[in-house]
Structure 1
Amino acid sequence: MPITDAKFIQDFIRLTDDAFKKGWHERNGGNLSYRIKNDEINKILPELKSATNWQPIGTEVPNIAGEYFLVTGSGKYMRNVILCPADNIAIIKIDDKGKNYSIIWGLEHGGVPTSELPTHLMNHGIKKTVTNDKNRVIYHAHPVNAIALTFILPLDSKTFTHELWEMMTEVPVIFPEGIGVIPWMVPGGKAIADITGKLMKKYNAVIWAHHGTFCAGNNFDEAFGFMDTIEKASEISVKVHSMGGKKQTISNQNFCDLAEAFKIHLNENFLS
């Protein structure tokens, strides 16, 4: 079986294509990574290169040492992944100490994994722990309306969460724990990875001010769905603000009634 016929790679490709069509990935913006399951990697292992030419990750991720990841390439365009996967994405292996990685497939015409690799891998490690090994996908995109809101709303998790909860009834059901927010930081380094990781212990999505959104999911559908839901709620908010603001909204009691009906635990700290 060709490597690119593997279901997890096809699912990865589908997300990149769907997301580009949504308008979330201008030029080489955004990135995606997937923590490959043992049975998935074993099916294609004979077709992969040996792990050599180890490169530093830029952080330490001991609890994902020895694991394999499918990642987008730095400087690569999401729109090109479906056209030539082997030139735009890569499978990497983490060494036995969680300090280095090796490319064992992909990026055939050169390149390196996404510049956000430290953030991705650190958060894979965190979500692996807090979800009891269920989380597999880390996804970063540049959804227009979510970014736009970071210019007009206070940059704190409570304000953003409550605003998005109000915009669409499904949002508090999908994000009962809330959504994290980080003021602007230089992307790609350990500092933003550290602060994102702290928030990812509590949330499945973090908004990076004036930059984009960072989501984690147990599978591709969940991660894409988190991003899609945030952007849709943000679009409604942008339209409401442009039409003169709210004249009525969902009340705290409404939220409590919703939580009871759907048997979810809303983060009470984010109720007004």
Structure 2
Amino acid sequence: MNNNFLNSKAVNEVADLTYTMWRMGWDEKNGGNISYILSDEEASQIEASASRFVELENIPENMIGKYILITASGSNFRLVKEDIIHTLGVIKVEKAGYSICWGFEEENRPTSEIYMHLLSHSARLKVDSTHRVVVHNHATEISEMTFVHPLTDKAFTRTLWGIITECIIVFPDGIGVLPWMVCGNEEIGQATAEKLADCRIVVWAHHGILATGNSLNDAFGLIETVNKAAKIYMNTFDKRITDGITTEQLKEVSAFFSIQPREEFL
């Protein structure tokens, strides 16, 4: 095992985030997954060694050649920090699949939702060249909200924008919402990627949330903001005496902070 990469900032940040999300109650047992596109400098810390190749069809063209640090299938986020060599690994994406070139010891493999990660990275890179991270977890209140709220992009986004002022500032591009789907297959990966062409956050009904960004902190911050607003909504939606932030007030905030929210959601 290459100790230079094992002790790298990228590995430590992913391991720390897995534990943080577990402590928040958002990644029970083996719930959730993270992937992080390594920079050329980060990838250069990995020493060349014999690798395992895994076939995978329909690899996005713009992902070929990328090195990705990703959590293992079945990994318990409570334990990742104590067992990095088994619960994290690096893959090199190739035309017909991927090679495991670091970590995933004892025949472990990336998350079963790897195809969703590849498609999500591909979609975001097409609209944002600085994109690097996909984070998926089971944030409690946002999952609760999918049981009591209409499951459309516009309705979900507008409700959360109206809860706390920072929402429209933090995610002016809104939220994509998918109905319940089987996790881990190509269908949910394709549907998620379609949503990510227009926004950085996707909610999976009765399952969880996925956020993307140019850093782990960026992506996780989006989830924190969305879930805080969802928590306030769940605690107040049946007892309100006000309607929350109005459309005109949202426009005032947008003008003051020079942001351009998706007009169709206002």
Kindly indicate whether the alpha-carbon contact (under 8 Å) linking 1:149 and 1:234 is maintained by their aligned counterparts in 2.
Answer: yes
Residue-by-residue CA offset, 1:231-265 (whole Å, 9 max, x unaligned): 111101000125x1352311111001000000000
2:122 is aligned, of 114, 122, 125, to 125
1:261 is aligned, of 246, 251, 256, to 256
Kindly indicate whether the alpha-carbon contact (under 8 Å) linking 1:59 and 1:122 is maintained by their aligned counterparts in 2.
Answer: no
Residue-by-residue CA offset, 1:5-50 (whole Å, 9 max, x unaligned): 11111111121111111111000000000000001111x232x423
Kindly indicate whether the alpha-carbon contact (under 8 Å) linking 1:177 and 1:202 is maintained by their aligned counterparts in 2.
Answer: yes
Letter in 2 for 1:266: P
Secondary structure at the counterpart of residue 102 of structure 1: strand
| TM-score normalised according to structure 1 size | 0.94
Number of matched pairs: 264
Kindly indicate whether the alpha-carbon contact (under 8 Å) linking 1:240 and 1:246 is maintained by their aligned counterparts in 2.
Answer: no
2:155 is aligned, of 130, 153, 159, to 159
| TM-score normalised according to structure 2 size | 0.96
Identity of matched residues, %? 33
Matched, 1:101 2:102: no
Letter in 2 for 1:135: H
Paired with 1:25 and 1:2, the residues of 2 have a C-alpha distance of: 28
Kindly indicate whether the alpha-carbon contact (under 8 Å) linking 1:147 and 1:211 is maintained by their aligned counterparts in 2.
Answer: yes
- Structure 2 residue runs of 5 or longer lacking an equivalent are none
Secondary structure at the counterpart of residue 29 of structure 1: coil
Deviation at 1:109, TM superposition (A): 2.6
Deviation at 1:105, TM superposition (A): 1.3
Letter in 2 for 1:24: W
1:218 is aligned, of 201, 206, 214, to 214
Deviation at 1:58, TM superposition (A): 4.3
Within-5 A mapping of 1:135-214: 135-214=131-210
Deviation at 1:2, TM superposition (A): 3.1
Letter in 2 for 1:6: S
Secondary structure at the counterpart of residue 188 of structure 1: coil
Deviation at 1:107, TM superposition (A): 1.8
Matched, 1:50 2:50: yes
Paired with 1:221 and 1:57, the residues of 2 have a C-alpha distance of: 30
Partner of residue 65, structure 1: 64
User: What stretches of structure 1 move > 6 A for 4+ residues in a row?
Assistant: none
Describe the shift of the 1:221–1:246 C-alpha distance in structure 2 as closer, same or farther (beyond 3 A). farther
Residue-by-residue CA offset, 1:216-239 (whole Å, 9 max, x unaligned): 010011011011111111101000
Matched, 1:112 2:113: no
- Structure 1 residue runs of 5 or longer lacking an equivalent are none
Secondary structure at the counterpart of residue 167 of structure 1: coil
Secondary structure at the counterpart of residue 160 of structure 1: helix
Secondary structure at the counterpart of residue 78 of structure 2: helix
Secondary structure at the counterpart of residue 240 of structure 2: coil
Residue-by-residue CA offset, 1:197-229 (whole Å, 9 max, x unaligned): 011010100000000001101001101101111
Paired with 2:213 and 2:251, the residues of 1 have a C-alpha distance of: 26
Secondary structure at the counterpart of residue 186 of structure 1: coil
Letter in 1 for 2:69: L
Partner of residue 77, structure 2: 78
